[in-house]
């Protein structure tokens, strides 16, 4: 692979982290910094990535990490931090677990107790993310294996009230969803939602639908709304994926699905790029990639793909399908589309790659 020098496009820095270890972080736009970090003792810190200054926002009692079944093939229980874009609210949940809490970051006040359900919770991250709706923060969260809700994080008020009858005597009621919700990722403009979930056999069926329609016109949009697209079928879920823009998703892995054999064929390293507005199982563009290590994270700024492995992060031009940069020894955990920054997380340090080239900013 072509390996341009790191400093040709980005500057690299490392922020030491004394005290209790970092367990997760996410990008925000707050007066206390561009990053919100969670430490193992339950403290939330705002971090200014330019100066390295950190501001303690609040402390809280973390959810029980031990509750729920464990199946290490899918993932071990771990804390995951989600935050509203303005840094006002945070949700701390247990991936592959059951519980979570929502807090007001300025005070540590718990505004919601979250429970994602205990039915095969060990197979999926805790479904949760923040979006903006009508100029206000909203929290999307799983309340059962096959049900998502949207709530006001300030009050816990439900924004997607609806009734779905239980499955009885072999008859599926209207709107009943036989689908395990997984990792949730809003599109860059917040209008659509990507859901990396699965169905019985088992098989992955990543989906996407309109958040605007869900909260505006149809509370059943996440079950069977007109905008709901089943992107493809795959052997595995919990795979690296990301939005390219507001209409296209990149999924790691080049395999096609064989309905007759009910299995993947032609698996190889690379990404499949699919539209989320062209009906079920839309045609995909494939970009093969000469990457041998397991891929941990996948990000995009709309023009490039950032592919993170345990040994480094490579950058690929989407238009040409070719590599254009490589950052050896830097495993990106987070990407900020607005600034173009990439962040790596360790218990005792935050690594930052800041773009020097304006082409690497959204």
Count CB-CB contacts under 10 A for residue 137. Answer: 17
Q: What mean pLDDT comes out for the span 256-278?
A: 91
Q: What mean pLDDT comes out for the span 326-344?
A: 96
Using a pLDDT cut of 70, give the percent of the chain over it.
Answer: 96
DSSP SS3 for 113: strand
Q: What is the pLDDT of residue 293?
A: 96
DSSP SS3 for 249: strand
User: Are residues 254 and 288 in contact, defined by beta-carbon separation less than 8 angstroms?
Assistant: yes
User: Are residues 74 and 238 in contact, defined by beta-carbon separation less than 8 angstroms?
Assistant: yes
Q: Is the confidence at residue 294, as pLDDT, over 70?
A: yes
What pLDDT band is residue 281 in, cutting at 50, 70 and 90?
confident
Q: What is the pLDDT of residue 130?
A: 98
Kindly report the average pLDDT of the chain as a whole number: 94
Q: What mean pLDDT comes out for the span 167-196?
A: 94
User: Are residues 303 and 318 in contact, defined by beta-carbon separation less than 8 angstroms?
Assistant: yes
Question: Distance between CA atoms of 146 and 267, rounded to whole angstroms?
Answer: 29
Q: pTM for the whole thing?
A: 0.94
Q: Which domains does the chain have, with CATH numbers?
A: 1-17+296-362 (no CATH), 22-161+178-295 (2.130.10)
């Amino acid at each position: 692979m072509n390996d341009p020098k790191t400093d040709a496009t980005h500057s690299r820095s490392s922020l030491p982290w004394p005290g209790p270890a970092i367990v997760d972080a996410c990008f925000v736009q707050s007066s206390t910094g561009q990053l919100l970090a969670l430490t193992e003792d339950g403290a939330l810190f705002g971090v200014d990535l330019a100066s390295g200054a950190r501001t303690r926002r609040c402390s809280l009692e973390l959810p029980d990490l031990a509750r729920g079944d464990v199946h290490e093939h899918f993932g071990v229980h771990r804390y995951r931090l989600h935050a509203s874009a303005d840094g006002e609210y945070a949700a701390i949940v247990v991936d592959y677990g059951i519980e979570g809490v929502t807090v007001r970051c300025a005070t540590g006040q718990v505004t919601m107790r979250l429970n994602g359900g205990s039915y095969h919770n060990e197979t999926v991250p805790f479904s949760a993310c923040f979006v903006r709706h009508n100029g206000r923060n909203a929290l999307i969260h799983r309340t059962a294996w096959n049900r998502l809700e949207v709530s006001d994080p300030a009050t816990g008020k439900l924004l997607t009230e609806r009734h779905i009858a239980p499955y009885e005597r072999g008859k599926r009621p209207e709107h009943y969803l036989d689908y395990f919700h997984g990792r949730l990722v809003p599109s860059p403009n917040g209008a659509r939602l990507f859901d990396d979930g699965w169905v019985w056999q088992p098989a992955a069926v990543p989906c996407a639908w309109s958040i605007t329609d869900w909260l505006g016109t149809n509370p059943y949009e996440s079950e069977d709304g007109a905008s709901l697209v089943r992107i493809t079928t795959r052997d595995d879920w919990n795979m690296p994926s990301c939005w390219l823009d507001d209409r296209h998703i990149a999924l790691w892995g080049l395999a096609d699905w064989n309905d007759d054999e009910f299995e993947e064929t032609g698996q190889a390293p690379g990404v499949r790029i699919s539209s989320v507005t062209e009906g079920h199982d839309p045609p995909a563009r494939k970009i093969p990639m000469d990457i041998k290590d397991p891929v941990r994270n996948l990000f995009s700024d709309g023009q490039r793909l950032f592919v993170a492995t345990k040994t480094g992060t490579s950058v690929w031009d989407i238009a040409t399908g070719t590599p254009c940069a490589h950052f050896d020894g830097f495993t990106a955990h987070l990407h900020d589309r607005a600034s173009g920054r990439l962040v790596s997380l360790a218990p005792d340090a935050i690594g930052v790659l800041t773009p020097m080239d304006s082409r690497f900013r959204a």
